[in-house]
Amino acid sequence: MLPKDIPTVIRILKREYKRFRTPYVTEVAGRRKDPFKVLISCIISLRTKDSTTRASSTRLFNIADTPVATAALSPRVIEEAIYPAGFYRTKARTIKNISNELVKNGSKVPDEIDGLLKLKGVGRKTANLVVTMGFGKPGICVDTHVHRITNRWGFVKTKTPEQTERALKIRLDKRYWIMINDLLVAYGQNVCVPVSPFCSRCGIYKYCERAGVKRQR
């Protein structure tokens, strides 16, 4: 896929996106800019289906939705709220520790990548989501879908999400940075799935090199 094809591809993806349910973290960010909720729901979402993330986050936020309130909860209460999210015990401790750390610093979520990465348990994907969705600042969140699909397109040729982020910041027009994660997460969950993607019903089939695709439907 060439850079000149990207505007057309983005238009198609936006049209297709309307058919899919919006990822929960995006919903949280869209209701009102609440970096703390974006941060916590993103942590819950790691290696967890979106439907589970939605239910788990909702239960937790019904109990506590600020750093102060969450820091006051015991790890057991957090565990019970976010179960059955993947690695829920580890995530409960992470959420508790992050909340404690934020309270020590005035309950303010950092609005820069470097500041977020200082919070134990926060990786680059989560940090980028908080910066872009929680604060509306420019950045590219590269998760497994963005990494897989942009390489499948042939738009980048990278080995890791970190390399993909760097490559996209060079090749992708800045106006698409924030939206690319939303579009490709939805597309990657419904059409451009990891194994045997649905190429026969893909609206951007003719623009894609299908690099690494061994079977398709």
Mean pLDDT score, 115-133:
94
Alpha-carbon torsion (144, 147, 153, 154), positive or negative: negative
**Pairwise CA distance, residues 25 & 17, whole Å:** 15
Distances (CA, A) of 40 to 33, 52, 96, 100, 196: 13, 14, 10, 13, 32
Over residues 59-116, the pLDDT tens digits come to 999 999 999 999 999 999 999 999 999 999 999 999 999 999 999 999 999 999 999 9
Mean pLDDT of the chain: 94
Q: What is the pLDDT of residue 27?
A: 84
Question: Quick one: pLDDT band at residue 29, thresholds 50, 70, 90?
Answer: confident
pLDDT > 90 fraction of the chain, expressed in percent and rounded: 88
Q: For the whole model, what pTM was predicted?
A: 0.86
Neighbours of 18 (CB within 10 A): 8
Alpha-carbon torsion (202, 204, 208, 211), positive or negative: negative
Q: What is the pLDDT of residue 24?
A: 85
Domains and their CATH numbers in the chain: 3-21+140-207 (1.10.1670.10), 34-134 (1.10.340.30)
Q: What is the pLDDT of residue 2?
A: 86
Q: What is the pLDDT of residue 21?
A: 84
More confident call, 3 vs 206: 206
